[in-house]
Structure 1
Amino acid sequence: MAKRWGMAALLLFGVYALGMYFYIFHSGGGGIPSALQGSVADPAEFMSDRELLLSEEYSKIRNFLFFVATPFEWLVYLFILLAGLSRVFGKWSVSLTKWRILRNAVYLFLLSILTYIVLFPLDYYSYSLSKSYGISTQSFSSWMRDNVVGFWVNFGMTLIIVSVLYWLIKKSTKRWWLYAWLLTIPFSIFIMFIQPVVIDPLYNDFYPLQNKELETKILSLAEQANIPSEHVYEVNMAEKTKALNAYVTGVGSNSRIVLWDTTLNRLSDNEILFIMAHEMGHYVEKHIYFGMGGYIILTLVGLWLTAKIMTRIIARYGKVLKITRMNDIHSLPLFLLITSFLLFASSPLSNYISRYQESRADQYAIELTGDQEAAVSSFQELTKAGLSEVNPPKLVKWFRYTHPPMLERIIKVAEKQE
C-alpha cells in the first residue's frame, strides 16, 4: 500500500509540474495589452532590450520554481511518513533520553536536518539563479551563513511551538486546536515585537539613516502624516542584492521604518520620499494591526481544519503512514504537510487583501506627496532593479503577488497625473 501511495504521489506531482511548466512557459499570458503599449507602464519604454529579455526569462523560471517547490515539500513529508523515517526518528529520540523536551529536540533536529538536505538543491538553485541574472550580489559563504542562522532560529522557534503543541494534543485530543490558537495570539505579538531588534539584526546590520538631510525630509513628511518618529533606519543590503526595498516592521515602541541602502543608492530623494510616504500609509491605515487580526482569524480556521483532517487521515490511513496516534510526535510531518497545503490554498485570499492594502498605501502616498512623476519613476526603477514581471499571468498574480503588479500601479498613478 505504501509503495502504491508513493508511486501515485510521484505521478501526480509529475503531471502537476508538467502542467505548470506549460502554463508558465507556453500559455502566452502576461503580455502588455495593446491599449497600454507605448505608455509609461510599458516596460519596453523604460527597460533595455536585454533587461526585457532577462526579465521575461527570470520571471518565468522563478514562477515555475515557486509552484513546484511547495508541492515538492509536501512530497518530502509524505515520503518521510511512508518510509517510516518519522517513526524511526521518534524511537531514536526515546532511546536517547527520558526528558520529553530533549526527545522533542532530538526528533525535530533529525527531521529538520533531513528536510534541509533534501530541499537544499532547490534553495541553492534559487540563489544561483538570482546571482546569474545579476540580482544577488551575495557570496556563497555569506549566503550559507544566513542559511545556517535561519536553520537554528527556525529550529529554536519550532521546538518551542512543537513541544507546546504536542503537550496540548496529549491533554486534549478534541480541543487542542483551540488552546493552541489562543496561545498563538500572544506568541505572534511577541515575535512581531522582538523581530526588529532581535531577529532581523542576526541577518543584516541596521543603523540610523546616514543622510541626515534626507532623514529630515522624511521626518517632516512623517510629521505631516501625524506619525511620531525619531529615526529612519538604513540596512546594509548592497553586499547581498541589487533589488530595492523599504518596509515597516514591528509594533509599538519597537516599530521601525527601514530603507535598504540599495534604494538609497539608486533612487532620487523625491522617489525615496514617495516610497516612505507609501510605508507611512500602512502605518496611518493601521495595516499592520489588520494584518495581525487577519492572521489570527486564518490561524483559527487553519488549526481547526488541520485537527479535523489529521484525525480522519490517521483513523483511515494511519497504518500506511506509520502513525498510531495523533499525540505521537512522529505525526508531525503530517501536521506540517496539511498546514502547508492549507497555507498555500489560502494564499490567493491573503494576497488579495495584501494587494488591496498596498494599493491603498499607494493612494495615500500620492495624496501626501502630490508627486505622481516620482511615483511612476520609482515603480519603473523597482521593476528594472528586480527584473520584475509587470503583468503576470493570473495564477501567478493570485498565488505570488502580495503587491499589485507594476502595470496596475503605474497606470493608477498615470491616471491621477492626467
Structure 2
Amino acid sequence: MARKMGFFAILAYVLFGFLVYWYLFYIADSTLPFEFQGSSADPATFLNSRELMLSEEYSQIRNLLFFLATPLEWLIYFLILLTGLSKAFKNWSDETTKNKYGRVGIYVFWLSLFAYMATFPLSYISYHLSKTYNISTQTFASWMKDELIDFWVNFGMMVVIVGVLYWLINRSRRFWWLFAWMLSIPFTLFIMFVQPVVIDPLYNDFYPLKNKELEAKILDLAAQAEIPAEHVFEVDMAEKTNALNAYVTGIGSNSRIVLWDTTLNRLNDNQILFIMAHEMAHYVEKHLYIGIAGYLLLSLIGLYLIHKIMNWAISRWGKEFKVSGMGDIRSLPLFFILLSMLAFAASPFSNFVSRYQEARADSYAIEMTDNPEAAITAFQELTKAGLSQVNPPLLVKLFRYGHPTMLERISRIEDYEIQKRNEEGMSP
C-alpha cells in the first residue's frame, strides 16, 4: 500500500509539473491590453527588444520554479513518511541520547538536513537562473554561506517550536492547537522585534544612510507623516543582486526603514523619496500590525484544521506512515505537509490583502510627494532591474504577487496625473 501511495504521489507531481509548464508557456497571456499600448506602463516604451525578450523568458522560468518548489516539499515529506525515513530519524535520535529535548533536536536535524539536500538542486537552479539573467551578482561561495545561515537559523527556531508543539500535543490531545496558537503570539512578536538587529545582520551589513542630504529629505517626509524616525538604513546588496528594493522591518523601537544600495545607485532623489513615502504609508496606516493580526487569525484556523486532518489521516494511514499517533514525533513531516498546503491555499487571499495595502501605500506616496513622473520612472526602473512582467498571468498574480502588477501601479499614477491636470485646467 505504501509503495502504491508513493508511486501515485510521484506521478501526481510529474503531471502537475507538466500542467504548470503547459499553462505558463502555452496558455498564459501576459500581453498588454490594447488600451495600454504606448502608455508609460507599456514595457516597449522603456525596455529595448533584448530586455523585453529576457524579461519574458526569465519570468516564465522563475514562475515555473515557484510552482514546482512548494509541491516538491510536499512530495519529499510524504516520501519520508512512506519510506520509513521518519522512523529511522526517530531511532537515531533515541540511540544517540536519553534526553528527550536532545532527541527532538537530533530528529529535527536529520529531517531538516534530508529535506534541504532533496530540495537543493531546485534551489541551485533558481540561483543559477538569476545569475544567467544578471539579476544575481552573488558568488557561489556567498550564496552557499547564506544558504547555510538559513539552514541553521531555521533549525534553531524549529527545535524550539517542535519541542513545544509536541509537548503540547502529548499534554492535551484535544486543545493543543489552541494552546500552540496562544504561544505563537508572543513568539511571533519576539521574532519580529529581534529580526532587524539579530537575524538580518547575519546576512548583510546595515548602516545609517551615508548620503546625509538625502537622509534629511527622507526624515523631513517622516516628520510630515508624524513618524518618529531618527535614521534611515542602507544595506550592502550590490555584491549579491542588481535588483532594487526598500522595505520597513521590525516593530516597536527596533522598526527600521531600509534601502538597498542598489536602489540608491540607480534611482535619483525624487524617485527614492517616492519609494520612501510608500514605505512610510505602511507605518501610518498600520499595515504591519494589520498583517500580524491577519497572520494570527489564519494560523488559528490553520492549526485547528491541521488538528482535524492529522487525526483523520493517521487513523486511516498510520500504518503506512509508520506513525502511532499525533503525539509521535514521526508525524512531523505530515504536520509540515499540511501546514505548507494550507499556507499555499491561503496565499491568494493573503496576497489580495497585501496588494490592497500596497495600492493604498502607492496612493499615499503620490499624494505626499506630488511627483507622478518620479513615481512612474521609479516603477519602470524596478521593472527593468528585476526583469519583471508588467502584466503577469492570472495564476501567477494570484499566487505570487503581494504587490499590484506594474501595469496597475503605473496606470493608476497616470490616472492621477490626468486628474490633476484636469483639475488645474478647471481652476480659475
Give me the whole-angstrom Cα distance separating, in 1, the residues matched to 2:58 and 2:150.
25
Aligned to 2:14: 14
CA displacement at 1:92 relative to structure 2: 1.3
Identity of aligned pairs, percent?
62
Q: Is 1:63 aligned to residue 77 of structure 2?
A: no
Aligned to 1:294: 294
Aligned to 1:149: 149
CA displacement at 1:354 relative to structure 2: 0.3
Deviations 1:56-91 (A, max 9, x none): 000000101111111111000000000000011101
SS at match of 1:174: coil
Aligned to 2:88: 88
Give me the whole-angstrom Cα distance separating, in 1, the residues matched to 2:29 and 2:319.
44
Matches for 1:392-403 after TM superposition, within 5 Å: 392-403=392-403
Matches for 1:145-224 after TM superposition, within 5 Å: 145-224=145-224
| TM-score, normalised relative to structure 2 | 0.97
The residue type paired with residue 396 of structure 1 is V
Aligned to 2:225: 225
Aligned residues: CA RMSD: 0.6
CA displacement at 1:28 relative to structure 2: 4.2
Deviations 1:311-337 (A, max 9, x none): 000001101111111111111000000
Aligned to 1:386: 386
Deviations 1:155-214 (A, max 9, x none): 000000000000000101110000000000000000000000000000000000000000
Further displaced range: 172-181 or 11-20: 11-20
Give me the whole-angstrom Cα distance separating, in 2, the residues matched to 1:161 and 1:30.
41
Matches for 1:292-371 after TM superposition, within 5 Å: 292-371=292-371
Aligned to 1:238: 238
Give me the whole-angstrom Cα distance separating, in 1, the residues matched to 2:160 and 2:416.
50
Give me the whole-angstrom Cα distance separating, in 2, the residues matched to 1:47 and 1:149.
36
Give me the whole-angstrom Cα distance separating, in 2, the residues matched to 1:118 and 1:220.
50
Give me the whole-angstrom Cα distance separating, in 2, the residues matched to 1:196 and 1:395.
33
Deviations 1:366-410 (A, max 9, x none): 111011110100000000000001111110000000000000000
Give me the whole-angstrom Cα distance separating, in 2, the residues matched to 1:400 and 1:24.
13
The residue type paired with residue 367 of structure 2 is E
SS at match of 1:257: strand
Give me the whole-angstrom Cα distance separating, in 1, the residues matched to 2:227 and 2:105.
44
- Structure 2: gaps (5+ residues): 419-428
Runs of 4+ that moved beyond 6 A: none
Aligned to 1:35: 35
The residue type paired with residue 112 of structure 1 is S
Give me the whole-angstrom Cα distance separating, in 2, the residues matched to 1:410 and 1:256.
27
Give me the whole-angstrom Cα distance separating, in 2, the residues matched to 1:23 and 1:179.
42
Aligned pairs, how many?
418
Aligned to 1:129: 129
CA displacement at 1:154 relative to structure 2: 0.4
The residue type paired with residue 363 of structure 1 is S
Aligned to 2:120: 120
Give me the whole-angstrom Cα distance separating, in 2, the residues matched to 1:238 and 1:165.
40
SS at match of 2:40: coil
Give me the whole-angstrom Cα distance separating, in 2, the residues matched to 1:371 and 1:223.
19
